[in-house]
Amino acid sequence: MGAQPPRPQLTGEELAYYRAVEDLFARLRGTPFLLTPKDFALLRRWWQEAVPLAAVATGVAEVFERARERGGDPVSSLAYCRHAVQRHARRLAVAAAGAERVPETVDVAAAVARLAAEVRAAATRRHGEPSIAAALLSLAATLETVPTSATPAAVDELLGRLELAIFEALFGALAPADRATVEAQVAGELAGIDLAPEIRARTERALRLRAVRELLGLPRLELASP
C-alpha cells in the first residue's frame, strides 16, 4: 500500500478495505497502482463514513467502464470516482431506509451469502493461479459488504454493475491460453453474423463475460441465480 497513515491507526478490517479498493483499481487499470495521499484521504473518509465496499467497488468500476467506452486513458486517480461512489452509496442507503415498506420476495442476506461462498469456492479451485484466486477472493469480500437491508431490486442492480466490471478484470487476469480459449469461443459464436460495430462490441463483451463465468465456474451475480 502506498501513502498510508501510521500502521497502528489501522484495524485489520480497515486495512483490508483499503487494500481491496487499491487491488481492484490496479486490476481494472491492468497495471500496478498505488494510491496517492489525496486518494488515500478520500478512501479513508469513505471508511469513516461507513460507505460499503460494494458501493465503492461499483462506483469505481462504473467510471472505468465509461472511460473504456469513450476510448480514453485509464482512470488515474480514485478522485475521479468520488461522485459515482457517492451516488451508489446514497442509492443503497435510500433503498435500505425504504426496505420495510417493500414486500420481500427474496432472502437477500441468504442469496448474497450463497454468492460469496460460491465465489470463494471458485478461488479455492484456482489456488494454483494466484492472480485469479486473489481477484476472486477480493470479489467474495466485496460481496460480503453488500447491504442486505436494501431492497432486492437495489441489490440486484448493484450486483449486475459489479459483475460487468469484475468479470472484465478477471478476463485480463487469465492465463494467455485461457484468454485465447475465451476469445476463440466468442469468435466462433459470432462467426458469420453481420453486426454494426457498436452492437458487435457489446455482444462480444457479453459473450466474453459468459465464457469467463463458465470457465471459472462462477454463478451469475444476481439474487435469483440458481
| Residue 209, pLDDT above cutoff 80 | yes
Q: What is the mean pLDDT of the chain?
A: 84
Lowest mean pLDDT of 112-116, 143-147, 165-169, name the range.
165-169
The yes-or-no verdict on residue 51 having pLDDT over 50 is yes
Which pTM was predicted? 0.75
Q: How far apart are CA 156 and CA 71, in angstroms?
A: 28
Residue type, 65: E
Q: Dump pLDDT digits (tens) for 63-104.
A: 888 887 777 777 888 889 999 898 888 887 776 665 544 445
When pLDDT is cut at 50, 70 and 90, the band that residue 185 belongs to is very high
Q: Domain coordinates of the chain in residue numbers?
A: 7-216
More confident position, 72 or 1: 72
pLDDT band at residue 223 using 50, 70 and 90 as cut-offs: confident
pLDDT at 215 (0 to 100)? 93
Secondary structure of 177-198 in HEC code, one letter for each residue: HHHHHHHHHHHHHHCCCCCCHH
Q: What are phi and psi of 62, to 5 degrees?
A: -65, -40
One DSSP character per residue, 40-53 reads: HHHHHHHHHTT--H
**What is the phi-psi region of residue 71: left when phi exceeds 0, alpha when psi lies from -120 to 50, beta otherwise?**
left
- 9-43: per-residue pLDDT in tens? 677 888 888 888 888 888 888 777 778 889 989 99
